[in-house]
């Protein structure tokens, strides 16, 4: 039995180019709309002072993990607004636990709630957090990311 020849499909190169050009335009428009809103640090530097100075012990390991997640979304203005579900997912906590740990971070002065972000349609979105604790944890977005921190609370090795 002879094999059936596959049908030749003629590609419409003009249509393909139009789709490609439209996709490039869409990506450029999206990048322009997000300009200044999306800044994710490439890395976060945690000073030796965080564990040795009792900072992590004071707020707890879960709260510190939540802080690192929020901190990774920080802009150059020290503002971050990831959603609760994003924070919960990336920190490995439930949303309820995440809310408790955010309250702990606020209580100890690591972050402040400063309002709610508005989306392009003018509706309110995620809560905005101001990162207050910048001496113990720094990232590539910080101007002073190479400075040593003078915050050593305990020098007895604890």
pTM, 2 dp: 0.60
Query: Does 152 fall in a domain?
Result: no
Q: How does DSSP classify residue 2?
A: P
The answer to whether residue 41 scores a pLDDT higher than 60 is no
CA separation for the pair 145, 135 (Å, rounded):
9
pLDDT recorded at residue 118: 77
**pLDDT tens digit string along 23-32?**
778 777 776 7
Tally of domains within the chain: 1
pLDDT recorded at residue 34: 66
Please indicate whether residue 98 or residue 155 has the higher confidence score (pLDDT).
98
Query: Does 66 fall in a domain?
Result: yes
**pLDDT tens digit string along 137-146?**
655 455 554 4
The contacts of residue 20 (CB under 8 Å, 6+ apart) are none
Query: Does 116 fall in a domain?
Result: yes
Query: Does 111 fall in a domain?
Result: yes
Query: Does 150 fall in a domain?
Result: no
pLDDT bucket at 46, cuts 50 / 70 / 90: confident
Query: Does 75 fall in a domain?
Result: yes
**pLDDT tens digit string along 67-82?**
999 988 888 888 998 9
Query: Does 31 fall in a domain?
Result: no
CATH number of domain containing 106: 1.10.10.10
Tokens of 138: 């720094």
Q: Find the mean pLDDT for residues 107-113.
A: 93
What does pLDDT average to over the chain?
77
pLDDT bucket at 155, cuts 50 / 70 / 90: very low
Query: Does 10 fall in a domain?
Result: no
CA separation for the pair 33, 29 (Å, rounded):
6
Beta-strand ranges (E) seen in the chain are 44-46, 79-80, 111-118, 124-131, 137-139
The domain in which residue 88 lies consists of 43-139
Q: Find the mean pLDDT for residues 107-131.
A: 87
Q: Find the mean pLDDT for residues 90-99.
A: 92
């Amino acid at each position: 039995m002879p094999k059936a020849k596959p049908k030749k499909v003629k590609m419409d190169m003009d249509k393909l180019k139009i789709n490609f050009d439209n996709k490039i335009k869409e990506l450029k428009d999206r990048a322009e709309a997000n300009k200044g809103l999306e800044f994710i640090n490439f890395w976060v530097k945690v000073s030796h002072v965080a564990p040795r100075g009792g900072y992590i012990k004071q707020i707890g390991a879960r709260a510190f993990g939540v802080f690192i997640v929020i901190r990774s979304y920080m802009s150059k203005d020290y503002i971050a607004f990831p959603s609760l579900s994003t924070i919960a997912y990336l920190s490995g906590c439930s949303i309820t636990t995440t809310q408790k740990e955010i309250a702990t971070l606020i209580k100890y002065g690591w972050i402040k709630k400063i309002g709610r972000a508005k989306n392009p349609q003018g509706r309110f979105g995620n809560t905005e957090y101001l990162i207050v604790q910048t001496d113990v944890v720094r990232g590539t977005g910080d101007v002073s990311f190479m400075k040593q921190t003078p915050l050593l609370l305990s020098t007895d090795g604890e």
